[in-house]
Amino acid sequence: MEFQRRDKLHQKEIEEIQTRENNKNDLLKREIEQLKLENQLLRNQQNDNLIQLEDLDKKKLELEKHISDLELDYNKLQQERDNLKQERDNAIKDAQELRTKKGHRFANSDMLPSSKFSLSELEQATQNFSDLLKIGEGGFGCVYRGSLRNTTVAIKKLNPESLQGSSEFQQEVDILTRVRHPNIVNLIGSCSEISALIYEFLPNGSLEDHLTCADNTSSLTWQARTRIISEICLGLVFLHSNKPHLVIHGDLKPENILLDANFVSKLSDFGISRMIKQSETNTTAFYRTIHPVGTLGYFDPQFLQTGKLTTKSDVYSFGIIVLRLLTGKPAMNITSLVEEGMQPGRLQSIVDKSAGKWPFDLAEKLAKLGLKCANLDRRRRPDIIQVWATIEPVIKAASQLKAHSSVGSSSFNKEHVPSLFICPISQEIMKDPCIAADGFTYEAEAIKTWLNRGHDTSPMTNLVLPHHNLIPNHDLRSAIQEWLEH
């Protein structure tokens, strides 16, 4: 019995030992599995780290490339800044040269715009106001050609017995010292001692001279007349848009439209003109008087009736001038003549044959425009901006027609330069035409000079420019080069 009991105890011990060993083995296995799991996690983490490291290396390369690109861009910007600085310096230099070129008539003298002159200077310039140098006479007085400080000028001297007196003299000085435009006569200065005005000299006389062929003055071709119509309109657009005071000419007529050496027209004689402060409302600005003055035939009938001078008064006068340029007839009753000529098949019978063969469409459009502007009812007349909107496409179409004649008559030797080729500012053939925000084309250096002087308005319309960007007019440049070569 004892033996069996011992054997059972021994067997039990063996089982307990085996159980402990099994437990140890299980624990060891679990530890091994845990280690394997941890090892796998470490490997995964290592792989993730390697991937992140590769990404960081890529980002590092990209960042280094970006830094390199930034350095290149910085260098380019520095170069561009240097180029712009050089362009600015060149522009300033060009502007100075342009001012010098534009003011060549003052190059050998000390004259500046709106200079003051003494009576003795004017007497010396005109040989004591010799009749031999008299080139015109009007309500204000006489106009003399003179040589003043090495410059040829026109000197208008007040007649002491004239109905126009010192107020008209001062009025013209005030206006012409405030407004400058390619189609407005340039006032050089004045002499208060005798109420004299000194202007740039315009050698081709007045538009009236060429309409009547006075003193064998050459007639004007239809091309020249069409261009002159556009120039008069632009001058009026500038005056009527001038700020803060718009200007009403009040005595617009062919005698007061002068022609320079290139037959460019310029408005003159502002003695009875009026400056009127622009209203902030939509009401029409006007000047009221109980003594209306003007020239019969060009005089706004409603100004005579009401004593109210408005911009529409200039539009009426402009309409009469358009009809005169079209027909060559006197101003009196010209609207009736043109209305009759608007009957089917009769228009060509009233146009001025001395201007050449008028294109029918052009003649018809100008006749309609002239009649519309010269309407007796002021309310039915367009304003000058609307007139320009009508004229501009007509002028462009006319300029594209091939012209075989010169600016004046066939005896005029100077070759006609198409008006589109002439810069409105410098009045010279353009070499680098650019389109500005106002839709007009200018010589690049001329319009850049205008903008660099701080102007934010159009030099042609006096309206604010929406931007200062310039677009090269390649088509016009090619046309100019082809024309010059031909």
Choose, from 94, 209, 251, 269, the residue flagged as catalytic: 251
Alpha carbon distance 385, 365 (integer Å):
17
Q: Across residues 351-370, what is the average pLDDT? A: 92
What three-state secondary structure class fits 258? strand
The neighbour count for residue 393, using CB atoms within 10 Å, is 10
Residue 302 predicted with pLDDT over 80:
yes
Give yes or no: residues 333 and 184 share one domain. no
When pLDDT is cut at 50, 70 and 90, the band that residue 402 belongs to is: very low
Count of H-run helices and E-run strands, the chain: 12, 15
The residue among 200, 230, 246 that closes a domain is 200
The CATH number of the domain holding residue 439 is 3.30.40.10
Residue 237's nearest CA partner among 391, 118, 93, 467 is 391
Q: Across residues 397-422, what is the average pLDDT? A: 55
Distance of CA 424 to the CA centre of its chain: 9
Residue 316's nearest CA partner among 395, 401, 382, 406 is 382
Q: Across residues 391-407, what is the average pLDDT? A: 64
Question: Mean pLDDT highest for which of 39-43, 241-245, 330-334, 451-455?
Answer: 330-334
Residues 343, 349: contact at Cβ < 8 Å? no
At residue 105, the pLDDT reads 42
The end-to-end CA distance of the chain, in Å, is 147
- In sequence order, what are the residues at sequence separation of 6 or more whose Cβ sits closer than 8 angstroms to the Cβ of residue 90? none
Its domain, for residue 126, covers 115-200
Strands 141-148 and 115-116: unpaired
Q: Does the residue 88 lie in any domain? A: no
Give yes or no: residues 361 and 441 share one domain. no
Give yes or no: residues 346 and 234 share one domain. yes
Give yes or no: residues 380 and 454 share one domain. no
Give yes or no: residues 239 and 151 share one domain. no
Total tally of structural domains belonging to the chain? 3
Please state the φ and ψ torsions of residue 116, each to the nearest 5 degrees: -100, 135
pLDDT digits over 99-115, tens only? Answer: 455 444 433 344 445 57
Q: Does the residue 56 lie in any domain? A: no
Q: Does the residue 365 lie in any domain? A: yes
Q: Does the residue 93 lie in any domain? A: no
Tell me the chain's radius of gyration from C-alpha atoms.
42
Please state the φ and ψ torsions of residue 356, each to the nearest 5 degrees: 100, -170
Alpha carbon distance 235, 228 (integer Å):
10
Residues 338, 326: contact at Cβ < 8 Å? yes
Give yes or no: residues 328 and 388 share one domain. yes
Q: Does the residue 408 lie in any domain? A: no
Distance of CA 462 to the CA centre of its chain: 8
When pLDDT is cut at 50, 70 and 90, the band that residue 461 belongs to is: confident
Q: Does the residue 482 lie in any domain? A: yes
Give yes or no: residues 220 and 180 share one domain. no
At residue 484, the pLDDT reads 77
The CATH number of the domain holding residue 189 is 3.30.200.20
Give yes or no: residues 354 and 227 share one domain. yes
Give yes or no: residues 167 and 281 share one domain. no
The CATH number of the domain holding residue 330 is 1.10.510.10
Q: Does the residue 333 lie in any domain? A: yes
Q: Across residues 277-287, what is the average pLDDT? A: 58
**pTM value > 0.85:** no
Give yes or no: residues 398 and 297 share one domain. yes
Which is more confident, 295 or 350?
Answer: 350
Tell me, what amino acid is at 46?
A: Q
Give yes or no: residues 427 and 479 share one domain. yes
Residues 385, 318: contact at Cβ < 8 Å? no
Alpha carbon distance 345, 324 (integer Å):
20
The residue among 175, 200, 225 that closes a domain is 200
Give yes or no: residues 481 and 447 share one domain. yes
Residue 415 predicted with pLDDT over 70:
no
Is 215 designated active site?
A: no
Q: Does the residue 36 lie in any domain? A: no
The H or E element that residue 267 is part of is: strand 265-267
The residue among 402, 433, 455 that closes a domain is 402
